[in-house]
Structure 1
Amino acid sequence: MRKSSLAFVGVLLGATALAHPASADVKIGLLGGVSGPIAAMAPAMIDAAQLAIQQVNEQGGLLAGENLVGVVGDSGCNPQNATDAATKAVNIEGISAMVGPHCSGAVLAAANSVTIPAGITMITPSGTSPEISKLADKDTVFRTVPSDDYQGRALARTLLERGTGKVAVAYLNNDYGKGLAEAFKAEFEEKGGEIAGFAAHEDGKASYRSNLAELADGGADTLVLFDYGDGTGLTILRQALENGFFETFIGGDGMKSDAPIRELGAENLGTFYASSPVGEQSAGLEAFNAAFKAIGGDPNAIFVTTSYDATFLAALALEKAGGDKAKVHEALREVSNGEGEAILPGEWKKAKELIAAGTAIDYKGAAGDHNFDANGDVPGTYALWRVEGDTFAVETEMK
């Protein structure tokens, strides 16, 4: 996955787009998993967020021409790291909104400890745990990606429709892995499938062969693996292949990483599939794809559409709120509620003029319309992906 200078200069400096004096800056936090189990995914996600910021600044900036700045922080997909990074972003950098964190446990920790008490609106592009919906967040936590309750159930239905009626399930023992596994299990069994093994595992062990052997004893030839492809999930997949424990492997969105392809070889992954969100074909998606390709990005990289949308939405809400941090969460619902003149990705100048005129707008994003429900959640579309060359291609849509 391309690691552009745009994203990583931001990491080193703590902020990007420093063309204007600091007094003219409006800052938003970009809190990502730059290190840790999704490190291979994070650069493209940050690049997509920076594209939105670039477009805002090229088309007049925020409010009276202020420069929008993305302050990049590293959560490491770790609750404590996320809390520390969020504290710095809020209390030292003075951000007005936050995009991220990328991982569910980090979202829960940073929200509870930092952004909710501070009244800062958080929009995560990839925190998918059902627990996020339950936060007592005073309507300040949103996401542009569907809950894993939806993904897990859709994946269960898809496997059954494809004739896979018996599976073993291995999941990372954290908020992400547990939430996804439980949703999958509930739907799979309810629809008549058999779970031949269901077990949590801890992160960072050198060997998972005994775990895999126990799961394989149930007689399933398919392993459903809810983990991260840059971390423990890669180790488990490697050891399962080396020892012939299973024939087919199904991952959640955390496994849709280029790390397994790079480390294990596409030729060894002919029976490896992963689910992840996919943008519905729309004018919004086409606009994003063209703009992201123009800066060298891969529109098929995981969570790039949701990362872009989260950032563009944060900017729209700040503009609508007149820069008032306390009003961003209310403004966010106003700029993406299904009512008003359509705004597509990249149409900042148009949106800015309409907001100034008091005209209602409705953002039609790369990943969807984002009409937030009472919990700040959105519906979405998922697909099952297969390995094709050095990347992923859609195998089938999930319903």
Structure 2
Amino acid sequence: MGVFTRATASRSRKATLSGLVFLGASALVLTGCSSSGGGEGSSNEKPTGEDLTLKVGTLLPQTGQLAFLGPPEEAGVGLAVKEINDAGLGITVDVTYGDSGDPDNKAFATTVPNLLGEGVSAIIGAASSGVTKLVIDEVTGAGVIQFSPANTSADFTTWDDNGLFWRTAPSDVLQGEVLGNLIAEDGNETLGILYLNDSYGTGLAKFTKEAFENAGGEVVEEVSYNAGDTTFDAQVSSLKAANPDAIALVAFEETKTIVPALAGYPADKMYFVDGNLADYSADFAPGTLTGAKGTLPGLDTDELGDFTDRLQEFWQGEGNEELKDYSYAAESYDAVVLIALAALQAGSTEGKDIAAELQSVSGGGEDAGEKCTTFKDCAALINDGETADYDGYSGPVTFDENGDPTEATIGIHQYKEDNTYERIN
């Protein structure tokens, strides 16, 4: 059973988190000050009587530390584009796929200029908060929407983005609260944290520590590593010397090296996050991770209805291998649908015009719209002059004025004997 936890935030980024979160959580994050604004758009407004053609690009990880997230995210984008175009309700979406890479291989440095040069109105991505920090000013400064399905850094809530950065993933204020309280609720009194030294890692480690200490625990060791590091002996030695009851690993693909270095530490006392909650069945011997737990934003696959079936059918129909998991697929799908609905409502494919309608079509505006759960139904309402309130596969969404979702679910997952994970709440 989930616990509904509330946090408030403003431009000063003050937050109050309280109460224990048991084996799952839904959270309402309310933010105050507006970041709404405009930029110079890259596309033309819809001529009267003609359908809109909306150009979007993706900045998702085909390579780099988060490459395992690329397939479900790209599948979510592709399925949304197909279903929007199949609906034939006044808007057609053209998508160009691009690689974000990571801060180490810097694929984004080529992808972003290419997408902007093609005149996209919106870019879906990045998955990595670290990558987004390196490109957000370039993208939003060009009047183009940057819409991430997976960025969780709290820094983006108050970023000076001209109202053009949006996300369907919740802030790490929430995930850190859930993780810290989970570790405490499992009976651990002391905690060691190993984290990536970037905006994602430092933020999530900070909020996890705050929640764990607020629950009465003590963080006895915190050690970081830098992107590109290949050995972690010093960090692991420091953690083991502190002898914590539990260890939280805020990491990406480096987890494949960190876990063997922690050999001898009980797997059921290890805690992962969305950045490293992955299928390790091909990487570790059976039983290596049995009992380890992790947090991941998003609904359970059982709550997604036929979405995962449609996703697999589309993805494999494009000649790809079967998806291993669905991390941030729903968030990616919803990002595209929301952008298309906002463009349809604005009657424009100009970035600033679309951004001005995103809060409204999510149900976060002043005038409550009619609930709808598919692009087709929402678009029909808009075409009839009504206000639509889209509730998607990632949740109700309901944007605040900073472009953050005000409602989100964080799932708790646990590793099985084969080093794959399942949701337990």
The question of a shared fold, defined as TM-score above 0.5 by the shorter chain, is answered with: yes
Distance 1:32 1:176 in 2: 16
State, as a whole percentage, how many aligned pairs show the same letter.
27
Distance 2:183 2:96 in 1: 41
Structure 1 position 88, deviation (Å): 1.7
Choose the corresponding residue for 2:260, options 232, 238, 250.
238
Structure 1 position 385, deviation (Å): 0.7
Query: Which TM-score applies when normalising by structure 1?
Result: 0.84
Choose the corresponding residue for 1:54, options 68, 75, 82.
82
Distance 2:52 2:402 in 1: 33
Query: Which residue is equivalent to 2:343?
Result: 318
Amino acid at match of 1:103: S
Q: Residue 287 of structure 1 contacts residue 366 of structure 1 at CA under 8 Å; is this kept in 2?
A: no
Structure 1 position 166, deviation (Å): 1.2
Query: Which residue is equivalent to 1:343?
Result: 372
Structure 2 alignment gaps of length 5 or more: 1-50, 317-321
1:71-120 Cα offsets, whole Å, 9 max, x none, are: 11111122854344222211x111011211111011122211x2221121
Distance 1:83 1:127 in 2: 18
SS of match in other structure, 1:73: coil
Amino acid at match of 1:272: A
SS of match in other structure, 2:340: helix
Structure 1 position 300, deviation (Å): 4.9
The more displaced of 265-274 and 328-337 is: 265-274
Distance 1:262 1:299 in 2: 12
Structure 1 position 196, deviation (Å): 1.6
1:121-159 Cα offsets, whole Å, 9 max, x none, are: 221000111111120112111110100111011111111
Structure 1 position 342, deviation (Å): 2.2
Distance 2:230 2:363 in 1: 48
Structure 1 position 322, deviation (Å): 1.6
SS of match in other structure, 2:308: helix
Distance 2:227 2:375 in 1: 42
Q: Greater helix share, 1 or 2?
A: 1
Distance 1:204 1:101 in 2: 19
Structure 1 position 352, deviation (Å): 2.6
1:216-263 Cα offsets, whole Å, 9 max, x none, are: 1111142110011xx22221112212xx245421111111112x3321
Q: Residue 75 of structure 1 contacts residue 101 of structure 1 at CA under 8 Å; is this kept in 2?
A: yes
Amino acid at match of 2:128: C
Say if 1:349 and 1:302 are closer, same or farther in 2 by CA, change over 3 A. Answer: closer
Distance 2:63 2:324 in 1: 22
Q: Residue 209 of structure 2 contacts residue 219 of structure 2 at CA under 8 Å; is this kept in 1?
A: yes
- Alignment of 1:278 with 2:278, yes or no, is no
Distance 1:298 1:204 in 2: 27
SS of match in other structure, 1:127: coil
Query: Which residue is equivalent to 1:292?
Result: 311
Say if 1:189 and 1:265 are closer, same or farther in 2 by CA, change over 3 A. Answer: same
Say if 1:52 and 1:236 are closer, same or farther in 2 by CA, change over 3 A. Answer: same
Query: Which residue is equivalent to 2:212?
Result: 188
Distance 2:308 2:326 in 1: 11
- Alignment of 1:109 with 2:129, yes or no, is no
Distance 2:301 2:238 in 1: 42
Q: Residue 280 of structure 1 contacts residue 367 of structure 1 at CA under 8 Å; is this kept in 2?
A: no
Structure 1 position 287, deviation (Å): 4.9
After TM superposition, the runs of 4+ consecutive aligned structure 1 residues lying more than 6 A away are 280-283
Say if 1:147 and 1:274 are closer, same or farther in 2 by CA, change over 3 A. Answer: same
Amino acid at match of 2:332: S
Q: Residue 183 of structure 2 contacts residue 246 of structure 2 at CA under 8 Å; is this kept in 1?
A: no
Say if 1:194 and 1:293 are closer, same or farther in 2 by CA, change over 3 A. Answer: same
Say if 1:280 and 1:369 are closer, same or farther in 2 by CA, change over 3 A. Answer: farther
Aligned alpha-carbon RMSD (Å): 2.3
Amino acid at match of 2:370: E
Query: Which TM-score applies when normalising by structure 2?
Result: 0.79
Structure 1 position 390, deviation (Å): 6.1
Structure 1 position 341, deviation (Å): 2.2
The more displaced of 274-283 and 185-194 is: 274-283
Distance 2:228 2:414 in 1: 26
Query: Which residue is equivalent to 2:24?
Result: none
Distance 1:360 1:61 in 2: 16
Q: Residue 52 of structure 2 contacts residue 348 of structure 2 at CA under 8 Å; is this kept in 1?
A: no
Q: Residue 293 of structure 1 contacts residue 299 of structure 1 at CA under 8 Å; is this kept in 2?
A: no
Structure 1 alignment gaps of length 5 or more: 1-22
Choose the corresponding residue for 2:65, options 37, 45, 48.
37
The more displaced of 290-299 and 334-343 is: 290-299
Amino acid at match of 2:173: D
